[in-house]
């Protein structure tokens, strides 16, 4: 996982209520936190380290809050130098609407992940579509990762100033596949 994403997640965790923050951080090896904090923004954080942090967060806050935390994390990540210029260019030069941004999902996903499957988007109407994540590697908590992606899609809608929803419509953990129904105004 690109370091800025995991670093943004850690920053969001560190902004939680002190009791929650302590419970989440207490479930993560100190070496994992140090590795994320010391990573250069252009580098990769090993995926097991990323998922250790994700797993601790999910166990402490539960599924619904987990999606909200990921939403805040991704809004913060889009404001970091690694993605800020892409977002600004997309909003101003290309006047991206959600369908335009989501149509680039495979390229964006490829630049922020490595070896974690593929992501595509198929519009259904001018304000809805289906995202499909598949080929996720076994050995990791796929459902947890898939739930976090809902927050990522919601953050993209926030960045584009289009309120909306992201629903995990279908999950097949055995083959690492998830489908999301995304809608916006």
pTM here is: 0.90
Percent of the chain having pLDDT more than 70? 92
| Domain range 96-184, CATH architecture | Alpha-Beta Complex (3.90)
At residue 29, the pLDDT reads: 95
Domain locations in the chain? 3-78, 96-184
Taking all residues of the chain, what is their mean pLDDT, rounded to a whole number?
92
Q: Coil, strand, or helix at residue 27?
A: coil
Average pLDDT (61-79) is 91
CA distances (Å), origin 145, targets 38, 99, 126, 156:
23, 23, 27, 17
pLDDT given for residue 78 in this prediction: 77
């Amino acid at each position: 996982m690109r370091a800025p994403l995991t670093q943004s997640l850690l920053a969001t965790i560190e902004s939680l209520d002190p009791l929650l923050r302590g419970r989440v951080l207490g479930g993560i090896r100190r070496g994992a936190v140090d590795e994320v904090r010391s990573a250069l923004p252009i580098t990769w954080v090993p995926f097991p380290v990323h998922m250790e942090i994700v797993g601790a967060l999910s166990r402490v806050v539960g599924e619904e809050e987990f999606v909200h935390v990921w939403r805040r994390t991704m809004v913060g990540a889009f404001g970091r130098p690694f993605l800020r210029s892409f977002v600004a260019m997309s909003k101003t030069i290309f006047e991206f609407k959600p369908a335009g941004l989501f149509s680039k999902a495979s390229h964006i996903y490829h630049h922020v992940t490595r070896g974690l499957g593929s992501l595509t988007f198929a519009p259904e109407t001018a304000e809805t579509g289906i995202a499909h994540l598949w080929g996720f590697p076994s050995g990791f908590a796929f459902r947890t990762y898939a739930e976090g992606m809902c927050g990522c899609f919601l953050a993209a809608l926030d960045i584009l100033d289009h309120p909306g929803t992201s629903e995990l419509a279908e999950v097949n953990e055995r083959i690492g596949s998830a489908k999301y129904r995304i809608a916006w105004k």
